[in-house]
Amino acid sequence: MRTILFSSQTYDRDSFMSADLPAGIELHFQPARLSLDTVALAEHHEVVCAFINDDLSAPVLERLAAGGTRLIALRSAGYNHVDLAVAKRLGLSIVRVPAYSPHAVAEHAVALILALNRRLYRAYNRTREGDFSLHGLTGFDLVGKTVGVVGTGQIGATFAKIMNGFGCRLLACDPYPNPQVEALGARYLSLPQLLAESQIISLHCPLNEQSKHLINSEALARMQPGAMLINTGRGGLVDTPALIDALKDGQLGYLGLDVYEEEAQLFFEDRSDLPLQDDVLARLLTFPNVIITAHQAFLTREALGAIAATTLQNIAAWAAGSPQNQVES
């Protein structure tokens, strides 16, 4: 089966070529992002392997189906970028990687918390320039602080375990309480209650119609003044322009993002020689209490290996007539 991997970087090639390749699968790596402009590259490929910022809207899916594609193999857990109704109408199967390494994303969220709290980025730049003063670098002890975990699936539960190890008090919000998180002493609350009581809020929920812009101006106003917000989930969970006002008036004290609602045209590419056209992102980058990473939370050797192995198993299982990890419309 001819399989084309869109948005494939060097690390994707390395992880897929290091995995056990099932018989009959022929891999073709394409660094370009899947879009209407590039969909022609998928012609005569039975399988299209897509990542989170590839365009899988109705027009693209129609072109894929017309070109002979029968399976969309996602290299991600999320599938909000896929028009499932159209895929079903066209007879396209969708499979995904429901879990790879929850530790990778959870640990990155913790890294953002520590870097923001202790101003590591400012301290690093200072000492490189010979400035060894400590003004403006005061942080706070994590022990005893209240951490709100929004979404307690595998990643959220792993994050909660790590923060429990710091001695934090845990609050959680999820329509389906996780017994593992409850065993850590976490209390499940409504989102408004969690926002009001937490000093650190970390988002680990999927993006859907109910969760889109879960954090908006109203939600930000409910937070404690100076609270920290971390998002390693999906960019659309946050109404990004609302963050700017909250940062300007001090309502939001710290912000760590690994995802951004308009990231599709920006992330995973070197654009350092080009002017930044996104005014909202440009404004966020001016704040000294903001750290933005370019959707790298998943980027560990262990996670990449698991993504490659599961994706190849998904393709092989579909070819054998016993699909696994299938996304239902």
Active site members? 234, 263, 295
Residue of 220, 285, 253, 293 whose CA lies nearest to 117: 253
Given the DSSP bridges, would you call strands 93-95 and 71-74 parallel, antiparallel or unpaired?
Answer: parallel
Distance of alpha carbon 319 from alpha carbon 329, whole angstroms: 20
Q: For residue 103, how far is the Cα from the chain centroid?
A: 13
* Short-list 215, 223, 167, 158, CA closest to 197: 223
C-alpha R_g of the chain? 21
210: exposed, middle or buried (C-beta count within 10 Å: 0-12, 13-18, 19+)?
exposed
Helix (H) or strand (E) holding 311: helix 301-319
How many Å apart are CA 178 and CA 76, to the nearest integer?
A: 22
β-sheet with 2-5: strand ranges across: 26-29, 2-5, 47-50, 71-74, 93-95
Number of neighbouring beta carbons within 10 Å of residue 145? 18
Both tokens assigned to 165: 């190890």
Instruction: Spell out where the chain has E strands.
Output: 2-5, 26-29, 47-50, 71-74, 93-95, 146-150, 169-173, 187-188, 200-203, 227-231, 252-257, 290-292
Residue 67 gets the label, from left (phi > 0), alpha (psi -120 to 50) or beta, of alpha
